[in-house]
A and B are shown apart, each in its own frame.
Chain A
Amino acid sequence: MLELFAQLTVNGLVSGSLFALLAISFGVILGTTRTFHFAHGIVYTAAAYGAYAFAEGLSLPLWLAVGLAVVVAVLLGVGIEVFVYQPLRRLYASPLTVLIASLGVLIIVENAIAIFFSTDAKIVTGFPSRLIVLGEVAFTTLHLAMVLVSWSLFFILLLYLYRTKTGKAMRGVATSPEMAEIVGIDTRRVFVGAFAIGSALAAPAAILYTLDKGATPDMGVTAVLMAAIAVIVGGVGSLPGAALGGMIIGLARNWGIWLLPSEWQSAIAFGILLLVILFRPTGLFGVKLRKAEV
């Protein structure tokens, strides 16, 4: 019994790390630009298929395929910002409108991928995965890579945001776009930067997941949903909160295997979201908002 619990906890920490990476990639965009970037899901998917196409289709070495997949993700993410969101913002479109456009982009690219690659799972090989047994629990080197990569990127992102000039500008825009404009920050460029960084962070999450489970065109929908839930659970605007939200979802989903019948599996993250919305609507690390901005 205890062994099962320990194993599920390890699995939870591993998948939680990936969720955390995904959540900060989504959170850095939402926090900075206030854009509910649903199409982030498709940037994630595109990175996975990019890695597949370069590694398996063109037989490039895995490290090179990963690098190119990051480029694909950044180009797609920034392209969506420049060609879809920016024109809408210039029209003073409501957040709802931007959200609809985002959903539209998600559907278009997802189905284009489905037509081009068909819908069966695509496997990317080449990662030297080996089993590690530690006492009662087992995991693979790939799982270890998931944890290491996710947390390294998380700390690099924090360093960037707190130690560099452009990173500070990004936090400035996140806090108050108007004030940032006044002190001479080009918010449009910062927005593009946030999309580039968020998209670049989504790529490793997608590729690590694909190395483990394979890629399907609909992988991004679940991914963006989990990322959004993690960000809301952690508190919009807080990256450590988003990372924590990702860990909570990863652990809860794995512990849930123990407790719940499989048909309710998909409901676990949603249940956490519901609890947070009802009892702590600002999220775990969120700033307490005024009840109504009047």
Chain B
Amino acid sequence: MDYFIHVAILIALYTILSTSYNLLIGYTGLFSIAHAAFYGIGAYTSALLTLHFGASFPLALLGAIVVTALVGGAIGVPALRVRGDYLVIASFGFQMIVFGVMLNWLALTRGEGGLAGIPRPVLFGIKIFSPAAYLPLAVAVAGICFLVTWWVARSPFGRVLRAIREDEVAAQSLGKDIVYFKITVFALAGGLAAVAGSFYAHYITFINPLSFTLDESIFIMAVVLVGGAGNLWGSLVGTVALVVAPEALRFLRIPDAIAAPFRQILYGLLLVLFVRFRPQGLIGEHSATRGTPKVPAGGDKKVEEGGSALGTRPPQTAGNGKPLLTLRNVTKSFGGIRALDNLSLTLEEGRITGLIGPNGAGKTTAFNLITGFLEPDAGSIVYRGRELRGAKPHEISRLGIARSFQDLRLFPRMTVLDNVVVALPGQRTEQLSLVFFAAPRVVSAERENLRRAYELLAFVGLAEKAGELAEDLSYPEQKLLALARLLATQANLLLLDEPASGLDPTSVEAIMALIRRLPDYGKTICVIEHNLDVIKGLADPVVFLNEGRAIASGAPAQIMASPQLADIYFGV
């Protein structure tokens, strides 16, 4: 009987480990192989606090959470770099170092001999002694941790995590400070792993480094991937399956000496077979959530198409000739190639400015410079009297400049609705602290945001598709979704990179009609387009770029009438 209780307690603790690891790898796409290190730091901190400082169990638990969360946040720093490979190696190294320190820092950890005599927890004056008494405690704690993780995962904070996983650059362009999100999620996952570590230490009453090896990290990874990354219920299923299955090996009479490597082979096989044949895991991310989402509360009153969600700026600013954004003598080289050569350009408030020119003229580079994805070598970029040089993409986005991408960069494995909601600005509820401590505010803000997202989807005509995954939309629909997401940023200056490319004539008409209405809502627009009919139908003025310079600007008819420009454009 005690044996079954023991297995049940292990399941509870591993549920905490796998769900918190899922936040990293499944939700945020951060590939860390160091979860056992967090688990171990939590266990050792908690054990040492009670053994050396006589701390009570709750205090030791708290200490373990704080210490591990801090370490987790620090590990998040290399994760800020663009390349995911670095994080793998950094976390791998971190796992090895933590293990090495546990093993060799004898004065503190007593090495392989481990720490013995860790006191059983005392809660509310009751000493929890037997496994049978420990089980309800472990289950309750696992339940609380599961709820915390679940609440975070479905909060606006969790939505941004998924956006980062899907496309980091796009998330930045929507004003998300990915540094904050990555460090926070690492700290959170570390803190949760520490809960499991602390409860493990005080349950077994003895710990040594061998419980927190690389193999243990890989086990946790196997649990999450087998269960289904990005789905917390999957982690629960995976935990039960992978904790119970090896126990069954006991009945196969495998000699003890090879039982451990045998188990490892099993986990390795599961990893290889699952990524090959069932990459989504037993329960995939969207197996439960697929389908039309609930129309937001208050949705019985008809969702006004566009409506307030498009922005509140009165239309009288339109076409007043005031410059909104000015580029002065901007230069940018890549290696020896001058992509932009002393480019000067002014975008007037409330107008649709067209940017045309042959391939390689520097059009998209100009967008990248304005939005802070690239830094100019020289020149100035001024928006509403503010110099933009040196500002980060998410800061520029928050000033009210948003851009779309030629290759759309939607968040493919998120719903159409989530693609739009995540772009709405000023979601203070994306702060993790508010997710926890101001739950009612989160819920009401969320309701309002869903309503606004529906309005925007209605504006572009995608309201019926709200519940589908972005990757399942047709190409024209994806283009419309990209526009809706862009509008959701509430930016005043919209930079559209080939909004009509690759579309059939009917879809081109539809998207042009939408863009044409935007200045009425106070939007200023700059559009790159190769289709000259689109430019003619939308833009005034038109700026002609060639070899990184603006060589002409004026009314579209005037620009296109110039035989000289036509020669350049068509490469005659």
Q: A-side interface residues toward B, CB under 8 Å? A: 36, 84, 87-88, 91, 93, 95-101, 103-108, 110-112, 114-115, 118, 221-222, 225, 228-229, 232, 236, 262-267, 269-270, 273-274, 277-278, 281, 289-294
Contact = CB atoms under 8 A, between A and B. Distances in A.
B275 A101 contact: yes
A107 B265 contact: yes
Contact of B275 (A97, A228, A270, A294): A97
B393 to A, nearest CB: 8
Nearest to A109: B268
A106 B262 contact: no
Contacts of B172: 292
Contact of A229 (B89, B368, B374): B89
A97 B279 contact: yes
Contacts, number: 143
30 contacts: A36-B88, A84-B276, A96-B29, A97-B279, A99-B31, A101-B272, A103-B268, A104-B272, A105-B272, A107-B218, A107-B265, A107-B271, A108-B264, A110-B264, A111-B261, A111-B264, A225-B92, A232-B89, A263-B105, A264-B97, A266-B100, A267-B93, A273-B93, A274-B78, A277-B81, A290-B334, A291-B375, A292-B169, A292-B373, A294-B368
Nearest to A112: B265
Contacts of B33: 103
Interface in B52-104: 77-78, 81-86, 88-90, 92-94, 96-97, 100-101, 103-104
Interface string B251-290: 0000001100110110111111001100100000000000
Nearest to A268: B97
A97 B100 CA distance: 28
Given A266-B96, A266-B97, A293-B169, 12 more contacts: A36-B88, A96-B31, A103-B271, A104-B271, A105-B268, A111-B262, A115-B261, A115-B262, A228-B89, A270-B96, A273-B93, A292-B82
Classify chain B's interface size. Answer: 35 or more
A100 B225 contact: yes
Nearest to B30: A96
Contacts of B271: 100-101, 103-104, 107
A270 to B, nearest CB: 4
Contacts of B218: 103, 107
Nearest to B92: A225
A99 B87 CA distance: 12
B500 interface: no
Interface-centre pick from A105, A264, A291, A294 (highest chain B CB count, 10 A) = A294
Given A96-B84, A266-B100, A225 B268 contact: no
Secondary structure type dominating chain B contacts = helix
B515 interface: no
Nearest to A97: B275
B221 interface: yes
Nearest to B111: A263
A263 B89 contact: no
B104 A263 contact: yes
B548 to A, nearest CB: 16
A232 B93 CA distance: 13
B121 to A, nearest CB: 30
A221 B214 contact: yes
Given A263-B105, A265-B100, A95 B84 contact: yes
Nearest to B272: A104
A265 B99 CA distance: 12
B146 interface: no
Interface string B330-351: 0000100000000000000000
